[in-house]
C-alpha cells in the first residue's frame, strides 16, 4: 500500500491525508501542497519523479513526444487562463483561445465563461480532480522530446482553438484578483523553483504562446485532468500503451514506497531523494518550526533505525548484510503492503537470533508500551498537537512486564513423602466401601430375647420368693468402716445427710441407703437434710416417710422440725457447697417449708460444718460426691464423711476412701445388702435390699451369661470370618 | 366391702399413673414409639417445672424477693447486687443485648473456676498423690503386708502404665514414627488397665440399671397385686 511517511513519527499514512493520522503532524509542506502531489497527478511542470524520469528515459522519442500532444490538449484553455500562465512564466496564452470543450466542462473548471470567478473558486476546491490516469501522460510530458508531427498537430490545435478567444483572455486576465496574480511568484511555485527542468516541448509551447498569459497555465494544467476529448481521440494502441505505462508506473511507485519505508526517515526528509524545487520549499513549509530540536531528532529517527542499531551490535555479519532490498526481493509481487522491520523480524529471524533479542522485543507488552506512550497527544503548551513527545507520567521509566518466575513448587524429599502420605490418606477416605449387611430383624429379635430373659430372671424371684442365691457374705472394708462409724455415733448427735441423687437412680440409692439410715435412726440422731439437686429435698422426704421407698426408715416416723430439718435445695454448685461449709447458717437459712432452720431443735449448737457428728452423702454422681469432698474437706475438721453411692460411680469415689478423705462407703444394692447383713435389727426385719437380692443376683447372673455367650459368639464369627477370608486368599 | 379411704384413693391414682408411665417407658423394648416419647416428654416437663418451682420457693423468694420487700436496709442493699447481676443475665437471651450480661457471666465463671480449681488441687490432686505414694508403705500392715504390697504394686503399675499410654511421643524412623519398645510395652499394660476400668464402669452402670429395673418390676407386681 502506498503511503506517505510522517516526518515526525515515521509512520505510513495515506497519500490523501495532509496530516498524520497518528501524531497529527503535517505530512506535506503548506506552500508545496500542490507541487507535492505532482508525481501522482502528473503535473507537467512539476519535477518529474525519479522513477518517472527513469522509466521515461527508456521510452522512444516518438512516445516521449506524446507529452507534447498532451500539453497541447492542456493548452485548450481560455486566453485569460493562458495569461495567468504568462504572468507566472513570462509567456502568454493567445487571446483567441477557443471555448471550453465538453470534456473540460466536466471538470467544472473552465465552463464558467469569461468571468472566470466561479470556476476559479471551484478550481480551488477540486484540486484532486486529476486522476492517476494522467500520471503516464505527465510522465511522458515530462520529457520534452516529441515527434515533429505531434508538434505540428499541437501548433494547429493552438491556432484553431485559441484564436476565437480574442481579447477575452486578456480581459479575464485583468479580472484575476491580486492574490491569484501573485500566486505564481510564491516561493513554492514549482515553476519558479524548477524552471530549468521544464521539458523542451513545454518550453517551446511557452515560446509560441507568448509571455503574456502563461502565468497560471502550468498550475491549472497540472490540476486539470486530461481532456476527455483528447482521450477520445487517442487510438487504441496508444491507450493500451498507456495502460502498460501505468502498470509500470505503479510498480515503480511500490518499489519507491518500499525503499522509502526501509530507509531511515532522515534520509527521506533529506534533499537527496526529493526534487530540487521541493527541497527548496521544504524548510519554508515545515509546520513544526517550533518543535524542539530533541523532538525533531526523535521524530526523524524511526524506531526501526534504533532496532537496526541494536541488531548491528550483536547479530553476525551475514545477518547484518541482509539489506532491506534483499528482503524486498523475497517479497511476493502480489503483496502490496510494504514490509516493515517488525514483520521481517518476526518472519525471518532464526530462533537463536530471536533468543538473542532483548526482552522488550520478546515480551509484547514491553514493546507495546512505548507505542502506547507515543499515542499520548499534548493538549496545551508549545507541544500541543504532538504525540509521543513526553512520557506518560513524570518520573516513570519504561514500563516492563514483571519477570516471569517458575510456578513449580520446590519440595524436599521429606515434604514429598508427607504429601504422598496425605494423599493416600485422603484417597482412602474417598474410596467407596462396601456397606456391611445390617441384621435389623436379628437385632430386634436379640433385643426381645435378652429383655425377656432379664425380665424373667428378675420377676421370677420376686413372684415366687425363692432364694436362688445365698445372702452375701462379703463385707467390704469401706462398708464395715461405715457401719462402725454409724454405730459409734452418740445419741442425739447432729448428722448432716446430703441427698444428691436424681429420681432415675433413687431405687438403687434408697435400697443402698436404707440399711444405713435405719441403723443411723436407731441411734436417735438429729438429722439435717440438704441437697444440691433440685429434686433432692423431695427424695429426702420420700426416703424418710414413704414406705414404698424404705419401710424400715419410714417406720422411724421422724418428724420435721423436731428430729430432722430439711434445708432444701442448696444453690450454687461448688460455690454453694463451699459457702455452706464455711457458713452453714448463712448458706441455708430456711427449711423446706420456709421456717428459720437454725432456730429449730435439730440445729441447736450447730455453727459450722465441723459441729456435725457425721456427714453422710448419698449421691449417684461422682462429680457431686467429689465436690463435697473437695469443698468441705478443708473445713470439716475431724467430722467423718460417709458416702452411699451408686455402683456406677464406685470406681471414681473409692480412691477417696483409700486416701482417707472419706471414712466409710456403701455402694449400690450389693453394699446395702451387705450392710443389712452386717446390721441386724432387733426385730430381724430386712429391708428392700434383701428382697431385691435374689432378683439382683439372678439378673446379674443372666447378664453375665449373656455377655459370655455374646463374647463367644463374637469370637466364633470372627474366627469364621478370618477363615473365610484366608480361604478366599488361597 | 371395706370402705376406701382418701389416702388409698390417692395412692391408687398415683400408683396407676406410675404404673402407666412405667409401661410407657418399658415400651421402648419394641422400639422408639410415641408412647415412650410421651413418657419422656412428661418426665422432662415435670422435672423442669419442679426445678423451677424449687428455685422460686427455695432461692428467689426467700433469698431475693423476701429481703427486698421485708428486709432491713442492709439486707435490701445487699440484695440489690445479686438482683442487678441476675437481671443482667436475662439480657443473654438476645444476641444483641447479650453483651450486657457479660459482667454477670464473668463473675460466675471466675468465681466458679477459682472454687473448682482450688478444691481440685487441695481436695483431689495433693491427697491422691500422697495416697499413691503411701500405697507401698507397709508400716502398720502387720500380717497383711503381702496384700498391702500387692495392692500398692498394682496401683503403682496401673498409674504409671496408664500415664504412659497417654504419652504420644515417638521417634522418627524410616518406616514412620514409632514408639520405643519399653514405651510400647508399658502403654499396652496401661491399655489393659484402662480397659478394666471401663469394664468396671460399665458394670456399675449395668448394676445401677438392673437395680432400677428390679425396683420397677417389683412396683408393678406390688401394684397389680394390690388391685
Q: Which of B58, B111, B203 sits opposite A569 (nearest CB)?
A: B58
Q: Which fold has domain A477-690?
A: Rossmann fold (3.40.50)
What would the mean pLDDT of B67-88 be, rounded to a whole number?
89
Question: Which of A74-88, A380-394, A556-570, B24-38 bottoms out in mean pLDDT, i.e. has the lowest?
Answer: A74-88
Q: In this complex, how many residue pairs, one in chain A and one in chain B, have their CB atoms less than 8 Å apart?
A: 154
Residue of A nearest to B109 (CA): A575
Half-sphere exposure of A531 toward its Cβ, with a 13 Å CA cutoff? 27
pLDDT of residue A447: 83
Name the burial class of residue B215, with classes exposed (0-12), middle (13-18) and buried (19+) by CB atoms within 10 angstroms of its CB: buried
Pairing of strands A641-645, A526-531: unpaired
Pairwise pLDDT comparison (A439 vs A522), residue with the higher score: A522
**Taking the CB of residue A7, how many other CB atoms lie within 10 A of it?**
24
Pairwise pLDDT comparison (A10 vs B24), residue with the higher score: B24
d(CA A702, CA A700): 5
- Cβ of A650 within 8 Å of Cβ of B204? The answer is yes
Q: Which of B29, B62, B207 sits opposite A590 (nearest CB)?
A: B62
Instruction: Enumerate the β-bridge partners of residue A13.
Output: A4
- Cβ of A462 within 8 Å of Cβ of B55? The answer is no
What would the mean pLDDT of A334-343 be, rounded to a whole number?
48
pLDDT of residue A312: 45
Residue of A nearest to B211 (CA): A508
pLDDT of residue A438: 61
Q: pLDDT band for A443, please (50, 70, 90 cuts).
A: confident
Q: pLDDT band for B126, please (50, 70, 90 cuts).
A: very high
pLDDT of residue A211: 45
Q: Is B78 on the interface with A (CB under 8 A)?
A: no
A475, A674 Cβ separation under 8 angstroms: yes
The grid coordinates listed for B194 are 484402662
The grid coordinates listed for A511 are 435400697
Q: Which of B58, B127, B213 sits opposite A661 (nearest CB)?
A: B127
* DSSP code per residue over A139-201: HHHHS----HHHHHHHHHHHHHHHGGGTTHHHHHHHHS-HHHHGGGGSTT-HHHHSGGG--HH
A630 Cβ contact list (under 8 Å, min separation 6): A574, B119, B120, B122, B123, B124
Q: Which of A448, A548, A668 sits opposite B208 (nearest CB)?
A: A668
The grid coordinates listed for A273 are 531523494
A284, A188 Cβ separation under 8 angstroms: yes
Give B-chain residues touching A594 at CB under 8 angstroms. Answer: 57, 62
Average pLDDT of chain A to the nearest whole number: 68
ipTM of the modeled complex: 0.88
- Cβ of A658 within 8 Å of Cβ of B131? The answer is yes
B187, B179 Cβ separation under 8 angstroms: yes
Q: Which of A571, A631, A651 sits opposite B201 (nearest CB)?
A: A651
d(CA A120, CA A126): 10
Q: pLDDT band for A497, please (50, 70, 90 cuts).
A: very high
In chain A, what percentage of residues exceed pLDDT 70?
50
Residue of A nearest to B197 (CA): A651
Q: Closest by alpha carbon to A40, among A256, A232, A260?
A: A256
pLDDT of residue A239: 62
d(CA A514, CA A551): 9
pLDDT 10s digits, A245-266? 676 667 666 666 655 555 544 4
The three-point CA angle A63-A65-A68 to 5° equals 140
d(CA A642, CA A121): 132
d(CA A78, CA A305): 52
Question: Which of A536-550, B130-144, B146-160 bottoms out in mean pLDDT, i.e. has the lowest?
Answer: B130-144
- Cβ of B55 within 8 Å of Cβ of A463? The answer is no
Give B-chain residues touching A535 at CB under 8 angstroms. Answer: 47, 50-51, 54
B165 backbone dihedrals φ, ψ, rounded to 5°:
-60, -35
pLDDT 10s digits, A211-222? 444 444 444 444
- Cβ of A630 within 8 Å of Cβ of B47? The answer is no
Interface of B with A in 130-159 (CB under 8 A): 130-131, 135
d(CA A721, CA B66): 71
pLDDT of residue A619: 94
pLDDT at A541 over 80: yes
Rg of chain A, C-alpha, whole Å: 64
pLDDT 10s digits, A576-616? 999 999 999 989 988 988 888 888 989 988 888 899 999 99
A53 Cβ contact list (under 8 Å, min separation 6): A139, A142, A143
Q: In chain A, list all ranges with CATH 3.40.50.
A: 477-690
- Cβ of A459 within 8 Å of Cβ of B47? The answer is no
Helix (H) or strand (E) holding A565: strand A564-569
CA distance B112 to chain A (A): 6
Q: Is B42 on the interface with A (CB under 8 A)?
A: no
Amino acid at each position: 500500500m502506498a503511503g506517505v511517511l510522517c516526518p515526525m513519527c515515521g509512520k505510513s499514512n495515506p497519500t490523501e491525508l495532509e496530516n498524520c493520522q497518528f501524531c497529527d503532524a503535517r505530512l506535506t509542506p503548506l506552500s508545496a501542497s500542490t507541487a507535492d502531489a505532482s508525481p501522482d497527478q502528473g503535473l507537467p511542470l512539476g519535477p518529474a519523479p525519479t522513477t518517472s524520469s527513469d522509466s521515461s528515459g527508456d521510452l522512444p522519442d516518438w512516445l516521449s513526444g506524446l507529452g507534447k500532444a498532451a500539453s497541447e490538449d492542456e493548452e485548450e484553455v481560455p486566453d485569460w487562463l493562458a495569461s495567468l500562465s504568462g504572468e507566472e512564466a513570462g509567456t502568454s496564452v493567445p487571446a483567441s483561445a477557443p471555448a471550453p470543450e465538453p470534456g473540460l466542462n466536466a471538470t467544472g473548471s473552465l465552463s464558467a465563461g469569461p468571468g472566470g470567478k466561479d470556476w476559479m473558486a471551484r478550481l480551488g476546491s477540486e484540486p484532486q480532480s486529476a486522476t492517476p490516469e494522467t500520471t503516464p501522460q505527465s510522465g511522458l510530458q515530462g520529457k520534452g522530446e516529441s515527434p515533429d508531427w505531434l508538434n505540428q498537430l499541437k501548433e494547429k490545435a493552438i491556432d484553431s482553438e485559441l484564436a476565437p478567444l480574442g481579447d477575452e483572455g486578456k480581459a479575464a486576465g485583468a479580472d484575476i484578483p491580486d492574490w491569484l496574480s501573485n500566486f505564481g511568484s510564491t516561493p513554492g511555485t514549482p515553476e519558479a523553483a524548477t524552471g530549468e527542468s521544464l521539458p523542451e516541448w513545454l518550453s517551446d509551447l511557452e515560446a509560441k504562446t507568448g509571455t503574456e498569459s502563461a502565468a497560471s497555465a502550468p498550475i491549472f494544467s497540472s490540476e486539470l485532468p486530461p481532456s476527455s476529448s483528447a482521450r477520445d481521440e487517442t487510438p487504441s494502441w496508444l491507450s493500451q500503451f498507456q495502460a502498460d505505462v501505468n502498470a509500470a508506473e505503479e510498480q515503480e511507485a511500490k518499489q519507491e514506497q518500499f525503499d522509502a519505508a526501509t530507509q531511515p526517515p532522515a534520509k527521506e526528509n533529506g534533499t537527496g531523494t526529493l526534487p530540487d524545487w521541493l527541497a527548496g520549499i521544504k524548510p519554508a513549509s515545515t509546520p513544526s518550526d517550533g518543535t524542539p530540536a530533541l523532538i525533531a531528532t526523535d521524530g526523524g529517527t524511526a524506531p526501526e533505525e534504533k532496532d537496526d542499531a541494536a541488531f548491528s551490535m550483536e547479530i553476525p555479519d551475514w545477518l547484518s548484510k541482509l539489506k532491506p532490498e534483499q528482503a524486498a526481493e523475497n517479497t511476493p509481487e502480489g503483496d502490496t503492503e510494504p514490509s516493515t522491520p517488525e514483520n521481517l523480524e518476526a518472519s525471518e529471524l532464526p530462533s537463536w537470533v530471536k533468543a538473542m533479542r532483548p526482552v522488550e522485543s520478546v515480551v509484547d507488552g514491553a514493546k507495546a508500551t512505548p507505542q502506547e506512550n507515543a499515542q499520548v497527544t499534548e493538549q496545551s503548551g508549545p507541544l500541543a498537537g504532538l504525540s509521543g513527545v513526553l512520557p506518560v507520567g513524570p518520573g516513570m521509566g519504561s514500563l516492563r512486564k514483571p519477570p516471569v518466575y517458575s510456578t513449580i513448587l520446590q519440595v524436599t524429599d521429606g515434604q514429598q513423602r508427607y504429601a504422598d502420605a496425605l494423599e493416600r490418606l485422603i484417597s482412602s477416605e474417598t474410596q467407596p466401601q462396601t456397606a456391611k449387611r445390617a441384621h435389623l430383624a436379628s437385632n430386634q429379635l436379640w433385643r426381645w430375647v435378652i429383655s425377656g430373659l432379664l425380665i424373667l430372671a428378675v420377676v421370677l424371684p420376686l413372684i415366687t420368693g425363692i432364694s436362688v442365691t445365698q445372702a452375701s457374705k462379703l463385707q467390704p472394708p469401706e462398708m464395715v468402716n461405715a457401719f462402725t462409724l454409724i454405730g459409734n455415733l452418740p445419741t442425739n448427735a447432729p448428722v448432716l445427710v446430703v441427698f444428691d441423687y436424681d429420681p432415675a437412680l433413687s431405687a438403687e440409692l434408697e435400697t443402698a441407703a436404707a440399711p444405713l439410715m435405719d441403723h443411723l435412726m436407731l441411734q436417735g440422731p438429729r438429722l439435717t437434710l440438704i441437697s444440691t439437686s433440685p429434686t433432692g429435698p423431695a427424695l429426702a422426704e420420700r426416703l424418710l416417710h414413704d414406705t414404698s421407698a424404705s419401710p424400715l426408715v419410714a417406720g422411724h416416723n421422724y418428724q420435721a422440725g423436731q428430729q430432722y430439718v430439711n434445708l432444701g435445695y442448696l444453690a450454687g454448685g461448688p460455690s454453694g457447697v463451699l459457702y455452706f461449709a464455711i457458713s452453714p447458717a448463712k448458706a441455708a437459712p430456711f427449711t423446706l417449708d420456709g421456717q428459720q432452720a437454725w432456730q429449730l431443735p435439730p440445729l441447736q449448737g450447730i455453727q459450722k460444718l465441723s459441729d456435725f457428728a457425721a456427714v453422710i452423702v448419698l449421691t449417684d454422681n461422682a462429680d457431686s460426691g467429689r465436690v463435697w469432698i473437695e469443698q468441705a474437706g478443708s473445713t470439716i475438721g475431724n467430722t467423718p464423711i460417709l458416702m452411699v453411692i451408686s455402683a456406677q460411680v464406685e470406681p471414681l469415689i473409692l480412691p477417696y476412701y483409700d486416701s482417707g478423705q472419706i471414712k466409710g462407703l456403701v455402694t449400690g444394692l450389693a453394699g446395702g445388702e451387705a450392710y443389712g447383713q452386717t446390721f441386724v435389727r432387733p426385730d430381724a426385719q430386712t429391708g428392700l435390699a434383701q428382697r431385691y437380692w435374689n432378683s439382683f443376683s439372678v439378673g446379674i447372673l443372666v447378664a453375665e451369661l449373656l455377655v459370655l455367650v455374646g463374647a463367644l459368639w463374637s469370637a466364633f464369627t470372627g474366627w469364621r470370618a478370618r477363615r473365610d477370608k484366608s480361604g478366599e486368599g488361597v | 366391702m371395706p370402705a376406701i379411704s382418701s389416702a388409698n384413693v390417692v395412692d391408687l391414682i398415683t400408683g396407676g399413673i406410675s404404673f402407666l408411665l412405667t409401661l410407657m417407658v418399658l415400651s421402648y423394648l419394641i422400639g422408639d414409639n410415641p408412647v415412650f416419647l410421651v413418657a419422656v416428654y412428661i418426665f422432662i416437663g415435670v422435672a423442669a417445672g419442679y426445678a423451677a418451682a424449687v428455685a422460686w420457693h427455695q432461692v428467689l423468694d426467700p433469698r431475693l424477693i423476701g429481703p427486698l420487700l421485708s428486709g432491713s436496709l442492709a439486707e435490701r442493699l445487699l440484695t440489690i447486687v445479686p438482683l442487678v447481676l441476675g437481671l443482667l443475665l436475662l439480657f443473654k437471651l438476645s444476641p444483641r443485648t447479650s453483651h450486657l450480661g457479660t459482667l454477670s457471666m464473668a463473675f460466675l465463671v471466675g468465681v466458679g473456676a477459682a472454687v473448682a480449681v482450688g478444691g481440685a488441687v487441695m481436695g483431689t490432686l495433693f491427697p491422691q498423690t500422697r495416697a499413691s505414694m503411701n500405697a507401698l508403705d507397709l508400716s502398720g500392715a502387720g500380717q497383711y503386708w503381702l496384700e498391702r504390697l500387692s495392692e500398692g504394686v498394682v496401683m503403682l503399675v496401673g498409674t504409671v502404665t496408664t500415664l504412659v499410654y497417654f504419652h504420644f511421643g515417638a521417634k522418627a524412623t524410616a518406616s514412620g514414627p514409632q514408639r520405643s519398645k519399653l514405651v510400647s510395652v508399658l502403654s499396652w499394660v496401661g491399655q489393659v488397665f484402662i480397659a478394666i476400668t471401663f469394664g468396671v464402669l460399665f458394670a456399675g452402670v449395668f448394676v445401677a440399671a438392673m437395680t432400677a429395673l428390679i425396683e420397677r418390676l417389683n412396683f408393678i407386681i406390688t401394684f397389680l397385686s394390690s388391685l
